[in-house]
Structure 1
Amino acid sequence: MRARLFASIAALIATMLALLPTPALAWWEYGHETIASIAKANVSAKTRREIVALLRHAPDLATPTCPLRSIEDASVWADCIKPLGDRFSYAYNWHYQNVGICKPFDLKAACPDGNCVSAQIDRNARLLKDRSLPARERLMALAFLVHFVGDLHQPLHAGDDNDLGGNRARSDYGIVVNPRLNLHSIWDGYLAERGLSQPPSLVRIYSAAERTQMAAGTTEDWSRESWQISRDVAYATIRGGDACAPHGEARGKMSDAQIAAQVPVLRLQIERGGLRLARLLDEALG
Structure 2
Amino acid sequence: MIRRFLMILAGLSAFGASPAAAFWEYGHETIATIAMSQVQPRTRASIEWLLKRQAALETPTCPAKTIEEASIWPDCIKPLGDRFAYVYDWHYQNLDVCVPFDIKANCIDGNCVSAQIPRAQRMLADRKLPVRDRLMALAFLVHFMGDIHQPLHVGEARDLGGNQTRVSYGAIGGRTNIHSIWDGLLADRGISTPPAGPRGLLSEATPEALRQMAQGSVEDWVRESWTIAKEKIYPTAAGDICSRAPGAKITGKLDNDAIVGLIPVMRQQVLKGGIRLAHMLDEALDGDHPEVAHPPKPQSIAPAPAA
Q: Please, what TM-score do these two structures have when normalized by structure 1?
A: 0.89
Instruction: State the match for 1:193 in structure 2.
Output: 188
- Deviation track 1:229-271 (CA, whole Å, cap 9, x = no partner) reads 111111111123x342327325201111111000000000001
Aligned alpha-carbon RMSD (Å): 2.1
| Cα 1:119–1:24 shift into 2, 3 Å | same
- Deviation track 1:135-169 (CA, whole Å, cap 9, x = no partner) reads 11111100010000000100000111411100000
Given residue 98 of structure 2, which amino acid in structure 1 is its aligned partner? C
| Cα 1:177–1:140 shift into 2, 3 Å | closer
Radius of gyration: which is bigger?
Answer: 2
Shifted more, 206-215 versus 153-162: the winner is: 206-215
- Deviation track 1:102-133 (CA, whole Å, cap 9, x = no partner) reads 11111212211111101100000000001111
Query: Does the residue aligned with 1:110 lie in a helix, a strand or coil?
Result: coil
Instruction: State the match for 1:272 in structure 2.
Output: 272
User: Which one of the candidate residues 160, 177, 181 is aligned to 1:182?
Assistant: 177
Given residue 52 of structure 2, which amino acid in structure 1 is its aligned partner? R
- For structure 1, the residue ranges without an aligned partner over 5 or more in a row are 1-12
User: Aligned partners of 2:35, 2:241: CA distance in 1, in Å?
Assistant: 32
Instruction: State the match for 2:70 in structure 1.
Output: 74
User: Aligned partners of 1:259, 1:243: CA distance in 2, in Å?
Assistant: 19
User: Aligned partners of 1:233, 1:224: CA distance in 2, in Å?
Assistant: 14
Query: Does the residue aligned with 1:203 lie in a helix, a strand or coil?
Result: helix
Given residue 138 of structure 1, which amino acid in structure 2 is its aligned partner? R
- How much identity, in percent, do the aligned residues show? 56
User: Aligned partners of 1:116, 1:34: CA distance in 2, in Å?
Assistant: 23
| Cα 1:104–1:172 shift into 2, 3 Å | same
Question: Does the Cα contact within 8 Å between 1:202 and 1:271 map onto a contact in 2?
Answer: no
User: Aligned partners of 1:267, 1:243: CA distance in 2, in Å?
Assistant: 25
User: Aligned partners of 2:281, 2:10: CA distance in 1, in Å?
Assistant: 44
Given residue 283 of structure 1, which amino acid in structure 2 is its aligned partner? E
Deviation at 1:202, TM superposition (A): 4.9
User: Aligned partners of 2:153, 2:281: CA distance in 1, in Å?
Assistant: 22
Query: Does the residue aligned with 2:242 lie in a helix, a strand or coil?
Result: coil
Deviation at 1:184, TM superposition (A): 0.3
Question: Does the Cα contact within 8 Å between 2:10 and 2:20 map onto a contact in 1?
Answer: no
Question: Does the Cα contact within 8 Å between 1:15 and 1:177 map onto a contact in 2?
Answer: no
Instruction: State the match for 1:228 in structure 2.
Output: 227
Given residue 143 of structure 1, which amino acid in structure 2 is its aligned partner? A
User: Aligned partners of 1:278, 1:219: CA distance in 2, in Å?
Assistant: 13
User: Aligned partners of 2:36, 2:12: CA distance in 1, in Å?
Assistant: 38
Instruction: State the match for 1:118 in structure 2.
Output: 114
User: Aligned partners of 1:95, 1:196: CA distance in 2, in Å?
Assistant: 22
Q: Is 1:64 matched with 2:60? A: yes
User: Aligned partners of 2:150, 2:43: CA distance in 1, in Å?
Assistant: 25
Q: Is 1:246 matched with 2:248? A: no
User: Aligned partners of 1:271, 1:279: CA distance in 2, in Å?
Assistant: 13
Instruction: State the match for 2:261 in structure 1.
Output: 261
User: Aligned partners of 2:253, 2:149: CA distance in 1, in Å?
Assistant: 23
User: Aligned partners of 2:284, 2:10: CA distance in 1, in Å?
Assistant: 48
User: Aligned partners of 1:44, 1:14: CA distance in 2, in Å?
Assistant: 38
User: Aligned partners of 1:16, 1:200: CA distance in 2, in Å?
Assistant: 24
- For structure 2, the residue ranges without an aligned partner over 5 or more in a row are 1-8, 287-307
Query: Does the residue aligned with 2:243 lie in a helix, a strand or coil?
Result: coil
Question: Does the Cα contact within 8 Å between 2:214 and 2:279 map onto a contact in 1?
Answer: yes
Deviation at 1:55, TM superposition (A): 0.5
The list of structure 1 runs, each at least 4 consecutive aligned residues, that deviate by more than 3 angstroms after superposition, is 13-18, 204-208
User: Aligned partners of 1:14, 1:146: CA distance in 2, in Å?
Assistant: 27
| Cα 1:250–1:43 shift into 2, 3 Å | closer
User: Which one of the candidate residues 101, 106, 116 is aligned to 1:105?
Assistant: 101
